[in-house]
Amino acid sequence: MNPILIVDDDADFRESLSWLLESAGYDSRGYDSAEAFLNAYQGEPACLLLDVRMTGMSGLELQRQLIAKAYQIPVILITGHGDVPMAVAAMKNQAFDFISKPFDDESLLAIIAKAVEEIPRRFERQSDLLEANRHWQALSRREQEVAHLVAGGASNKGLAETLGISVKTVEIHRSRVMKKMQAGNLAELIQKINLMSDDA
Amino acid sequence: MDSLEPASNLLEYNEARYRILAEQSGVMITLHRPGDWAYSAVNPAVEQLTGYRADELLGLPAYELFHPEDAWAMQHKLIPAIKKHGTRTFRYRSRNRQGEYRWVESTHRSIRDEQSGELKEIIAVTREVQQEVEAEQALQRLAAVVEASADLVLLCDEQLQVLDLNRAARQALGRSESGAEPQERFSLRDYLSTESVQKIRTIALQVARQKGRWKGAIRLDFPGRKEGFWQLEQLISTHTEPVYGLYSLIIRDRTEEQAVQQALQDKQQQLAHSERLMSLGEMASGLAHEINQPLASLLNYARGGLRKLKQAETISPDKLTQLLSAMEKQAERAAAIVRQLRSMVKKTPLRPELIDLEQSLREAVNFVEQELEQQSVNIRWDKPQGKAQVMADKVQLQQVWVNLLINALEAMAQSGDRSGNNNAQREINISIQALNKAETHSQDWQVDIVDQGGGISAEEMTHIFEPYYSSKSSGMGLGLSISRSIVESLGGGIDVDSDGQSYSCFRIRLAASR
């Protein structure tokens, strides 16, 4: 079972929440600040319960850091009562959902259940994405350029003209791209590049 | 022997002496022909004064050297006067050989034939007065500046007897306007309050006597004179011979600065007051968050426990002890916050005082003036005859008005947004009216605050005074509940009425006080 990770600077609240989650059959782990969480988290499958209002790094900032690292962990934000602007900002930061405090346990558990359901799909995508990113970083700048043009549907001949190089050279670049990106065919390459551009 | 010399010799002798006098004199002596005023004889001093040699001047009409501005007066006034009276002194500008005009002063005398009385010659004695004239002009310019100054400038002696004063001072003191006439002597003490005189003598005069000058600010009262804020700012000892012990007083009208200063102070006071009003709202919001934390934790524990029991799981006594301790701790935490709040409230005791309802409402309106202007909302007043007074804490009561006014404004802004008709002239109606209660022979005041917002539905009206009930996206939902507890603590009541679409009326009743 994937754990529920709780980031809240109120220790009592963390503890009570983990008791509630335990009663519903979830494992949970608490962190007292966004910084502490970022130091510990390595991208493993989990669900995150995040308080927006914290001393130090805010929940919204933590969300942005997760996006920058391409982590796909579903984030449920806990906002204060009537804090609509904050909730809107959280949703724009690709939050899975938000719930305002004080909350009803049924609603929280329903949201968590949905998020947990999402975990396998999200983390498959995350590993694909991280792998594609890693491969992409291994490409030279010219190879990245060629990859983009190929994915955009350019022929070898067209590429040679656009880049002002020989068709032969284009072919060499192209085969290196396919190999480094571990793409068996053009369709796979396009899929990988689209995955990365979706995330950005 | 001298005494035996013939008369002709004596005449010659005297003539020679006069010649020496005329030739050696630094003063220019000239003879002029009547008619064209041409030089007929000149002494050597002319060369020094005019730069012209004697032979250059002889036969030249003197008019040609006069400044054009003076020539007319010479011709039309001076010459006829000389002809008539025989002698005249006149100041004018005369051109020297370098082409410069210099101020000179001439005394003219007519010489007539003893028998016929016919005008034979005119003799002129002329000296240069350039420096004198320049000094006088400088003095006049200075005097004009002092005279025209907006500051009150007075020349006084130690007893504050006024010797001279400028126009501003004459106006301020209501003395006769004509500056040309010599002023009747009077004392500044007749115009000033005793306190002001005392301050001038003990502070400013003391310093000026020792150091020659005092600078500062002494507020002066001119009882019975024009209202204003007058300040003595300088007192300068003027050691001008032949009179010593005279002082120049410079008094400035600071009425406008004072008004600005006062406005600034009022604004600051208003700001401090508004901060106090604000902090109540902020406190409520902060407090809500603080209490929410332990309550949310408490709920989590209780619900988690219930969930376990429902799932027919057993909870070990150890675990149960742990759970109940945790719950106790959270309840304690909430209680501590409430205690803390109570002690905070105690620190600011209420100060019930007699309050004029209209004034209290007007102050609250001032407080939301900017919002009113932004939304171009007018306030329409319906006021009772006479004063409507109640006993209340001033800040608390204003908290209620500000709250209701802000709600009214927000309701109107929202309905304006909805209808897209934000420009129409809209009003908030504030009415104060007396309610006579026959059974107790007492009187209440009723304040209605009516907005032209979108109204409140019947369903909403039943909840509107409940804490945390809010129709706004931002806001704690505490404003009306706080308002109600304030009004009720004053023994009054608050109600709402609305048609659910075009208006809301908040009605506050307060016991009258006389």
**For residues A20 and B304, is the Cβ–Cβ distance under 8 A?**
yes
Burial (Cβ within 10 Å: 0-12, 13-18, ≥19) of residue A43: middle
Per-residue pLDDT of B206-226, as tens digits, reads 888 888 888 888 888 887 776
Largest Cα–Cα distance in chain B? 169
Rounded distance between C-alpha atoms, residue A185 and residue B72, angstroms: 115
Rounded distance between C-alpha atoms, residue B37 and residue B79, angstroms: 9
Beta strands in chain A (DSSP E): 4-7, 28-31, 47-51, 75-79, 97-100
Rounded distance between C-alpha atoms, residue A191 and residue A176, angstroms: 17
- Stronger pLDDT, A3 or B489, i.e. the higher one: A3
At B21 the pLDDT is 80
- Measure CB to CB from residue A10 to each of B293, B326, B329 and give the nearest one: B293
* Confidence tier at A49 by pLDDT (50, 70, 90): very high
Which residue is closest to B319 within chain A, CA to CA?
A19
CB distance from A166 to chain B under 8 Å? no
Which percentage of chain B shows pLDDT scores above 70?
Answer: 85
Rounded distance between C-alpha atoms, residue B275 and residue B269, angstroms: 10
Shortest distance, CA A13 to any CA of chain B (angstroms)? 5
Per-residue burial over B420-430, b if 16 or more Cβ lie within 10 Å, else e, is: eeeeeebebbb
Shortest distance, CA B292 to any CA of chain A (angstroms)? 6
Q: How many CB atoms lie within 10 A of CB B125?
A: 18
Interface of A with B in 31-90 (CB under 8 A): 53, 80-82, 84-85
Pairing of strands B152-157, B243-253: antiparallel
- The token pair at B5 is 């010399």
- Stronger pLDDT, B30 or A82, i.e. the higher one: B30
Shortest distance, CA A105 to any CA of chain B (angstroms)? 7
Categorise residue B357: left if φ over 0, alpha if ψ from -120 to 50, beta otherwise: alpha
- The token pair at B420 is 């897209």
**For residues B445 and B435, is the Cβ–Cβ distance under 8 A?**
yes
Element (H, E) at B131: helix B130-148
Tell me the CA distances in angstroms from B107 to A140, B37, B51, B124, B419, one per residue in order. 111, 14, 20, 5, 94
Rounded distance between C-alpha atoms, residue B449 and residue B495, angstroms: 11
Q: Walk me through the domains of chain A, giving residue ranges and CATH numbers.
A: 4-123 (3.40.50.2300), 138-199 (1.10.10.10)
Contacting residues for B379 by C-beta, under 8 A, at least 6 apart? B365, B372, B427, B428, B429, B430
Is 60 exceeded by the pLDDT of residue B400? yes
Q: Decide: helix, strand or coil at residue A110.
A: helix
At B178 the pLDDT is 58
Is 70 exceeded by the pLDDT of residue A61? yes
Q: How many CB atoms lie within 10 A of CB A31?
A: 21
Task: Report the helix count and the strand count for chain A, using DSSP H and E.
Answer: 9, 5
Pairing of strands B442-451, B426-437: antiparallel
CB distance from A101 to chain B under 8 Å? yes
Top residue of A9, A15, A20 to mutate, by most chain B CBs within 10 Å, is A20
At B464 the pLDDT is 82
* pTM higher than the cut 0.95: no
At B183 the pLDDT is 58
- Measure CB to CB from residue B473 to each of A10, A84, A101 and give the nearest one: A84
